Amino acid sequence: MEMSELRTLLTPEGLRLVDELGTVDSTTAVASAVSRLRAAGHSPELVSAVVAQARLRSRAHAKFGPFADRMLFTRAGLEQATRLGIAARHAGRFRQAGLAHVADLGCGIGGDALGLAALGIEVTAVDADEATAAVAAYNLAPFGDLAHVHHALAEDTDLADVDGVWLDPARRTAGGDHTQRLRAEDFTPALDWAFALADRLPTGIKLGPGFERADIPAHAEAQWISVDGSTIELVLWSGSLAREGVRRAALVLRGDEAHEMTAAADAPDAPVRELGEFLHEPEGAVIRARLIGDVARSLDAGMLDERIAYLTSDAALTSPFVQSFRVRETLPADEKKLARALRERDIGRLEIKKRGVDVDPAQLRTRLKLKGDQQATLFITRIGDRRTALLADRVS
């Protein structure tokens, strides 16, 4: 967002129109809103800013719920913002550590700062982008003197009076794929600077889940987080924010439920075993944290293949750290034979999962030309050097 657009929006008329318009969640609704506002005599610049903001508020409900209706956003800021429920969990760690004043460096639109201020923690929020800092100031305004927002570089911020730091470095990589492998040089401020800061102050550093494990400082607690099946971030915790004896953690949230595994180090993998009655797909956070072996042992399961993150067992057990399936049968991996087998089983609704093979599930589903009243899950994977198709039913 350019400052000129933000200045147009941050007027009594602009803010009133945004609130009156509410959320806009379709192309048709956008066109209708633009026509209505232009007909009312509003300038093209104001209409563009107001409608864009209404569209962003609509998208922001997934992360901020009803709080989105009183917030402002930038497109990049919304994409990168921490979900409010996760921000609250991060803030809870700062409060539990007894930190009363936290610097949020690279605050974006203020999502994490909202979580901190909501728990009564004083926040100094800083962002290098002027428009983003202004949006954060608007979003944090209800907290009064508890939240201070500055347009500045993280490296130039005076940290003499703060007790701890939350740092969300900007990713220099193009695209928005936070699951790709990222290295220390892919961030600004530089992670060498961030890691040095974490050595002298309790710090939480938010990174993409695909961050290169070799670059994780040995003293940090590394916590990967999955939400409703998607692995969204890695947080490195230092000082009093890191838990005693914990170096690897996998936090899994599904709906309103939260479960966490912790360990002092990567877990040894479970041995490979023959396909059993059940197949288990570990959550992404568990895979990233390399705690699959601990989950396998809790399920009396083994690896389906030493290179593939699927577990198999004969025990009727499941866990919040996996999605579990009862295996029906092994089907032909050849596409034509597979399509015929699915038709014979009257399967018209098929969830397709794959690992270790070059398959696009959406394209495969189209080519299979499914028809029928039954549903199932199909796994396409490799066991040893053999491509394998497994038909299963979801248990959890």
Looking at residue 26, its pLDDT comes to: 87
96: tokens are 């539990």
CB-count burial class (<10 Å; 0-12, 13-18, 19+) for 120: exposed
Looking at residue 235, its pLDDT comes to: 98
Rounded CA separation 227/73 (Å): 22
* Domain at 78-263: CATH code: 3.40.50.150
What element of type H or E holds 352?
strand 347-354
Rounded CA separation 295/320 (Å): 10
β-pairing verdict for 347-354 and 374-383: parallel
Looking at residue 24, its pLDDT comes to: 86
Listed as ranges, residues in the chain with pLDDT below 50 are: 173-179
Looking at residue 180, its pLDDT comes to: 53
Rounded CA separation 293/303 (Å): 9
Cβ–Cβ contacts within 10 Å for residue 268, how many?
12
Looking at residue 175, its pLDDT comes to: 39
How far is C-alpha 390 from the chain's CA centre? 29
Looking at residue 171, its pLDDT comes to: 77
User: Hey, where are the domains in the chain?
Assistant: 3-61, 78-263, 278-394
Rounded CA separation 293/301 (Å): 9
